[in-house]
Structure 1
Amino acid sequence: MSVIDKATDNVTATVPVGDSPRRVAVTSDGNKVYIANNNTVSVIDTAADIVIATVPVGTSSCEIVVSPDGSKVYLGNFYNNSVTVINTKTNTVTAKVPVGEWPMGIAVTPDGKKRYMWQTLTATMSL
């Protein structure tokens, strides 16, 4: 993962992450970045630009989002029709929620009470 300075558009750091990084999500306070890789999620401390945890998720994810309060990360797992939930305090998987075929996009309401996703073959579902 590359870190780019907004003012200069120059790369200021390169952080090695897992195999085949696909998506990135940032906490609302900007302190952590989550990278969806092939079978893992890399957790990056933005102050030091280092990986502080690697969470095994056991599947390739095509979407990643952080809850507004920063307590959870949600991953849409395209190949096994589920959403993985990660507890950000412990950096552990707490649930795999079955959903419709080929989940692609995830959104969380500002109050964090509902999660929405879309699938390529089915209608939008709430988790």
Structure 2
Amino acid sequence: MSRLASDVVEDALMCEEGCELLVETLKSLRVKLKLLKDGPSNNEVGGSSSQTQYMKDPKRVRCNGGSKRVTGAKEKAMKRGIRHCRECGHIGHDRRQCPRNLNTPTSPSNNDESTPIDLSDPFFDEFYRMHGPTQ
């Protein structure tokens, strides 16, 4: 029905008289359909006792299988907003690189003294041979 109505409207739009004819016809059709919907009035004699049921077009729904667009890592990061450090609240670093934490030792030690390095280890001999002595 909608396709037929669309074709009729397209044909009527070709000239002024066609538009006027379609408007008049639709108005009279609307009155007749309202009378059918409401049923015969009490003043009319001999109305039909059987009611006709019409099927309407089904409601359109979106398909269940429609997939969403895949968002990339950069787009996700833009949605999250600007990151900031949990320790100091500044932007540009996170808590691992926070200047507050860089002053404290990262690994706990039992004593404050550092372990001396034995430069006579054969590993260092191999290193010096490949890279040269360090200053």
Structure 1-normalised TM-score? 0.16
Task: Point out which structure has higher relative CO (alpha carbons under 8 A, 6+ apart).
Answer: 1
Structure having the higher helix fraction is 2
Structure having the higher strand fraction is 1
Which structure has the larger Rg over C-alpha atoms? 2
